[in-house]
Amino acid sequence: MHILVVDDDAIMLDLLAATLTKEEGYQLEMHTSAESGLEALANSEHQFDCMLLDIMLPGMNGIEMCNELRKSSRHSTTPILMITGSVDLQLMARAFEVGATDFIHKPFDPQELTARVKMAGLLNQSLAKAQHTMSALADRLKIRFDEPLDLGIDKMCTPLALENELLRYRAECFAMTMFSIDIFSMRGIYRAVRASAFRSCLEIIGEAAVEAFGERNFRLAYIGKGRFIGAFMDRQRFDSEEVNDRLNAELEEAWDTNLTGVPMAPKGRLTALSAQRIWSGISASDALRQCQTQEAGLGDLTPTEENDLFARLDNKLPQATGASM
């Protein structure tokens, strides 16, 4: 556990070093002024798990240093324990106002000191995990309707990874069927539910598509706008109607209204991109890119007409799903 200590009392520094030892897993970096401590933090390559700051310091005092630390995103949540021999409640209140986590009173009890530092370490770990979780959640929530996504599903990849895989063949010719899967009503669903629920919809659809193809040799990618694109790598043709029926059956079975906020499973339509059977890596890559630039519509409706149609569902979906939205 890395701990920054700032105290101008040499006796206190010795007592802290004797209590928080290396054998117990503590690594102390000691400074006698706030200015020296701030400079060390600015140049440090590692993150401190806890800081012990004496309130009464020469020059910048401990409360002022704590205030400076809380202005930095790097130290905004690091536990800061203030060391003081005072019982002035106003002084403590000022320290808490600028972001102090706890107090250690002089003369301190070694067991109490160790307990408070351990608690600070546990708090720091909890905050770090929470920040990681929130960061991951924020990434999941940043979804545009036309954005390709890595859904993290076996046999699925990003469009770029699929293109790179196809380009490995370059000028060689090989048998393959390229296809797209358009999911009806995704534009309306995108407008009606939260971003996290929309991603859940895509994950269920992706898993259903993978199940529909079974053990066949294929790769699939989500390219945005409710459209998936894939490559079936085999000399034999597959029955697109059979796979399409299995896809919709899998969607019906797997659909989770509480998770997605959508009361009914959408339908999908599988379409071969071309009657072409023999491809080179370059021609397959060109077909993939062309598919990415095309609008995915509902039946014969234009994207604008589809958008208007599902705009009318905006008020109905929340009513149908209630709290799950």
Can you say whether the dihedral through the CA atoms of 112, 114, 115, 120 is positive or negative?
A: positive
Q: Encoding tokens for residue 240?
A: 């697109």
Indicate the domain borders of the chain. Answer: 2-139, 156-324
Q: What architecture is the 2-139 domain classified under in CATH?
A: 3-Layer(aba) Sandwich (3.40)
pLDDT the model gives residue 203: 95
pLDDT the model gives residue 129: 57
**Which strands, in side-by-side order, build the sheet including 27-31?**
27-31, 2-6, 50-54, 80-84, 102-105
Q: Contact at 8 Å (CB) between 226 and 188?
A: no
Q: pLDDT tens string for the chain (325 positions)?
A: 889 999 999 998 999 999 998 888 899 999 999 999 999 998 888 888 889 999 999 999 999 999 999 888 888 888 899 998 887 788 888 888 998 888 888 888 888 888 888 887 777 666 655 555 555 555 555 678 888 888 989 889 988 888 887 777 655 677 788 899 999 888 888 888 888 889 999 999 999 999 999 888 888 999 998 999 988 887 777 788 999 999 999 999 999 999 998 999 999 999 888 877 787 777 777 877 887 776 554 444 445 544 444 444 444 444 444 433 3
Q: What are the CA-CA distances from residue 277 to residues 3, 139, 165, 179, 294 (Å)?
A: 65, 39, 18, 12, 21
pLDDT the model gives residue 211: 94
pLDDT tens-digit series, residues 171-207:
567 778 889 999 988 888 888 888 888 999 999 999 9
CA neighbours closer than 13 Å in the CB half-sphere of residue 253: 11
What CA dihedral angle connects 91, 92, 95 and 96, to 10 degrees?
Answer: -140
Q: What architecture is the 156-324 domain classified under in CATH?
A: 2-Layer Sandwich (3.30)
Q: Which residues neighbour 76 within 8 Å (Cβ) at sequence distance 6 or greater?
A: 69, 70, 99
Q: Which amino acid is at 70?
A: R
**Dist CA 179 CA 252 (whole Å):** 22
Q: Contact at 8 Å (CB) between 163 and 242?
A: no
Q: What is the pTM of this model?
A: 0.50
